[in-house]
Structure 1
């Protein structure tokens, strides 16, 4: 039943993209100077989870690689590589400059100096989950490197810009911006149809079943692809030659739980503490939450940073915020 399991993974970069023509064309035009070996201003892609930001950025960069004779590219997930050292290490790795770098003994300034000295082809860098960077000043340093073109990805503009200092805000305020809205039902069906066409045997799933998956996904392509993958595996295990609605219904909770567990595993230590406190409570108000958080960590972040962390947990459907600012409470979704 499954002919290419890679296609059913969230990380798969498709050969063509559905229902993002405006975003694709705009980002392509922004990056056009790179084909003439000229860098461009940073570009921020923002919008809800599962709206195609990462997929589209990687798709465009792959297209760019095919049209430029010499081009270096690198993708960095700042949720995983959120420290200054880890991010710079990944950027140097993209140009083959990590051969003598050691985490314990290499001076931190050496990494940035080496990146500043880069004199190769244009270098296009995708910084995903960029609002998770521990040291936002790194963006200022990267912005000043002539041959570096930055594509920044976040859920909301304010998650990135609000914590920045005046100097960095002024630098990035004029960056290009592309907003990604949530996928609609028809758009998700089209995405799923392509994934089925590329990764499954012909005619194993009908349009009605694709529609059922889209209904369960609530605009999130990650969830939709996860449900399709789980349904295909279960159908194969059951010896079925088609993916039917009853199989889809059986795997919805499991697929969503898998995404939730994967997201939780990537949380920063402080975010994990906040999530744990909320999980232990039926519901909790911000003052109580922050008080408990302060007692559980050695170096508590500011209330503003904690609010940003909570917004991140909410964006990724790990928690629910009820009420307005003064009467807000937090609870987990499960």
Structure 2
């Protein structure tokens, strides 16, 4: 009988722990953020309003994972609260955000109802149930209008905002900021040692015993660059390369090869989520590899027909640097941009 489909020799026992859909039972090296976020949500246990909070930090540092984990913990502890997670890249308009909440709360409502009516539906449901609602708005800077933050606060909802950009809410109207009274919670990149602990924990769940050594795991941890998503994708790709080669142990060669693929996947995912002008700027830099800011501004202005101000251009480029899609060198006058890969 052919052994073409033999899976017994695979280094992978379960691929799920290496993916975004996996829900870990514990979050390593985020104890401080966990405790602070819990203190913000704790008032709902006794029927009070939670404290609104803004989570910020680079990609792959556990922001979304912690919020979803905390929601699960909170719901298992008390019946006094309901939760809703909204990805603002997918649901960016006020109507889309409110429709997602209505759907998650299982409120029977006509999808054609106006924004004001959706708010009334949410308020009515919460009043009838006597429960508090906490809404997590991931990629909050992708909202078409920040007025929805005011609407949610006015309707008695708690709000958790999540962004890669510390300055995502810098231009929010004073009236909205006053209503939110946000607490700030920073997530920094994982150190190489912290990343090793995370990857080791997931490797124990995903791989056959002895499939990867401590030395190779530490190489993967360093190459992840503080981003857990990249680290997990490195392990997943390296394991697949090992299976393709018919070897029972993941080696340094597979990890190094997997690194470039993992970073490339991450970059493409982020680029797909960019707005029109940010994506346009990235593609110009990607094509040139390295470009002076003055030349980039000239090419960008030509493509947009001069519709975008130079100030907005600088803000867009600052965002691309924050997202680690491009790197900047030199001072403002002589600045150059180049691609990371």
Post-superposition Cα deviations, 1:34-61, rounded to whole Å, max 9, x if no partner, equal 2223221211111122211111111111
Q: Which residue of 1 aligns with 2:179?
A: 171
* Mapped pair 1:150 → 2:143: no
- Which of 2, 25, 31 is the aligned partner of 1:21? 31
Over alpha carbons, which structure has the higher Rg? 2
- Which of 112, 135, 139 is the aligned partner of 2:149? 139
Whether the 8 Å contact between 1:34 and 1:122 is mirrored in structure 2 is yes
Q: Which residue of 1 aligns with 2:221?
A: 214
Alpha-carbon distance change, 214 to 80 in structure 1, aligned in 2, over 3 angstroms? same
Alpha-carbon distance change, 237 to 38 in structure 1, aligned in 2, over 3 angstroms? farther
**Structure 2 SS opposite 1:2:** coil
Residues of 1 paired with 2:99 and 2:287: CA distance?
A: 37
- Which of 87, 106, 109 is the aligned partner of 1:96? 106
- Which of 211, 222, 247 is the aligned partner of 1:240? 247
Instruction: Normalising by structure 1, report the TM-score.
Output: 0.89
Long gaps (5+) in structure 1: none
Residues of 2 paired with 1:306 and 1:113: CA distance?
A: 39
- Which of 37, 55, 58 is the aligned partner of 2:47? 37
Whether the 8 Å contact between 1:72 and 1:94 is mirrored in structure 2 is no
Post-superposition Cα deviations, 1:186-228, rounded to whole Å, max 9, x if no partner, equal 1000000111122222221121111000111111111111101
* Mapped pair 1:223 → 2:233: no
> How far does residue 166 in structure 1 lie from its aligned partner after superposition?
2.1
Whether the 8 Å contact between 1:10 and 1:226 is mirrored in structure 2 is no
Long gaps (5+) in structure 2: 1-10
Instruction: Normalising by structure 2, report the TM-score.
Output: 0.87
Alpha-carbon distance change, 20 to 86 in structure 1, aligned in 2, over 3 angstroms? same
Residues of 2 paired with 1:299 and 1:29: CA distance?
A: 48
Q: Which residue of 2 aligns with 1:332?
A: 339
Residues of 2 paired with 1:294 and 1:140: CA distance?
A: 35
**Structure 2 SS opposite 1:117:** helix
* Mapped pair 1:280 → 2:287: yes
Post-superposition Cα deviations, 1:230-267, rounded to whole Å, max 9, x if no partner, equal 11122122222221111111211111111111222222
Residues of 2 paired with 1:283 and 1:246: CA distance?
A: 29
Alpha-carbon distance change, 54 to 288 in structure 1, aligned in 2, over 3 angstroms? same
- Which of 277, 293, 303 is the aligned partner of 1:270? 277
Residues of 1 paired with 2:73 and 2:231: CA distance?
A: 25
**Structure 2 SS opposite 1:45:** strand
Residues of 2 paired with 1:6 and 1:37: CA distance?
A: 37
Which is worse superposed, 276-285 or 264-273? Answer: 276-285
1:47-196 correspondence runs (5 A) = 47-69=57-79, 71-97=81-107, 99-102=109-112, 106-119=113-126, 120=129, 121-146=131-156, 148-160=157-169, 162-172=170-180, 174-196=181-203
Alpha-carbon distance change, 232 to 266 in structure 1, aligned in 2, over 3 angstroms? same
**Structure 2 SS opposite 1:31:** helix
Residues of 2 paired with 1:317 and 1:295: CA distance?
A: 25
**Structure 2 SS opposite 1:118:** helix
Whether the 8 Å contact between 2:164 and 2:323 is mirrored in structure 1 is no
Residues of 2 paired with 1:115 and 1:286: CA distance?
A: 47
Alpha-carbon distance change, 327 to 90 in structure 1, aligned in 2, over 3 angstroms? farther
CA-based RMSD of the aligned residues comes to: 2.3
Whether the 8 Å contact between 1:11 and 1:55 is mirrored in structure 2 is no
Post-superposition Cα deviations, 1:168-197, rounded to whole Å, max 9, x if no partner, equal 23333x321111111111100000011112
Alpha-carbon distance change, 299 to 78 in structure 1, aligned in 2, over 3 angstroms? farther
